[in-house]
Amino acid sequence: MKPTLLLLATCLVAAPAFADADRCNENLQKLETETGNPTEHTSANEAKMFIEQAREAQARGDTNACVTASERALKTLDQSYRQGNGSGSGPGAGSGNAN
């Protein structure tokens, strides 16, 4: 019974590590797609810095740092796009409902 319990515990501990590695790869793929066309926003440079940090962390095998840096890059790009495209782009924007 102990070997089975030990195997189960090992699987439970290893599963999140594999999930994080997948998440790191997925984030980097999204970033490569989204940054294929450089943006005019100044935060694009900040996002590129996070992308480089994520790639370096991935190369070192530091999955947690890769996920953290890649998610920060995605968040930075998302905020940049919202600022650049935000005025008048949301639902109900410019509908004249100001009474």
* Residue-level length of the chain: 99
pLDDT of residue 91: 36
pLDDT of residue 31: 81
Q: 91 or 19: which carries more pLDDT confidence?
A: 19
pLDDT of residue 1: 53
pLDDT tens readout for residues 13-63: 444 555 677 888 898 888 877 766 555 555 778 888 999 999 999 999 999
pLDDT of residue 88: 36
Burial of 46 (0-12, 13-18, 19+ CB in 10 A): middle
Separation between Cα atoms, residue 81 and residue 44, nearest integer Å: 10
pLDDT of residue 55: 92
pLDDT of residue 98: 43
Q: What is the pTM of this model?
A: 0.57
In this predicted structure, the answer to whether residue 96 has a pLDDT above a threshold of 90 is no
